[in-house]
């Protein structure tokens, strides 16, 4: 039978100051990595800015801006938005495989050729 001298109530705490600082640094790095992971996995969450000097000005929506949209650009924008809707649907289908699949093609069907009544009976050679 062996004794563990490290877990005794009378054992002294043997934590090195360098180890405690390293542990603090590791925990701080883990918090930053968790925040990055949440930001990556949830793009729908709003972005919070803590820098008071971080600001932007929209030069396209100001009252003095010129209208610069021609018919070709508007058609291209509509095509891009349509493509983005399709890409979003594909992304949702990929990220959520538990969702049911909807089929719109009336000719899309499956048939089991092995269990139909007219299938030839095949036996294993071992039987």
Nearest to 101 by CA among 90, 111, 116: 90
Of 70-74, 75-79, 117-121, which gets the smallest average pLDDT? Answer: 117-121
Higher pLDDT, 125 or 3: 3
Q: What is the token pair recorded at 80?
A: 């891009």
Higher pLDDT, 79 or 100: 79
**Mean per-residue pLDDT of the chain:** 83
Tens of pLDDT, residues 13-66 = 777 889 889 999 999 999 999 999 999 999 888 888 888 788 777 777 777 767
Following DSSP, what letter does each residue of 53-89 receive, concatenated? T-----SSSSTTPPP---HHHHHHHHHHHHHHHHHHH
Higher pLDDT, 75 or 121: 75
């Amino acid at each position: 039978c062996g004794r563990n001298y490290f877990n005794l109530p009378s054992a002294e705490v043997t934590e090195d100051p360098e180890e405690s600082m390293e542990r603090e640094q590791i925990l701080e790095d883990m918090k930053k990595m968790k925040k990055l992971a949440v930001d990556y996995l949830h793009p729908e969450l709003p972005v919070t800015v803590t820098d008071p000097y971080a600001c932007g000005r929209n030069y396209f929506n100001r009252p003095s801006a010129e209208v610069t949209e021609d018919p070709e650009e508007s058609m291209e924008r509509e095509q891009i938005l349509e493509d983005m809707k399709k890409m979003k649907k594909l992304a949702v289908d990929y990220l959520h495989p538990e969702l049911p699949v909807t089929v719109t093609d009336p000719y899309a069907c499956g048939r089991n050729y092995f269990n139909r009544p007219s299938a030839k009976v095949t036996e294993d050679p071992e039987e």
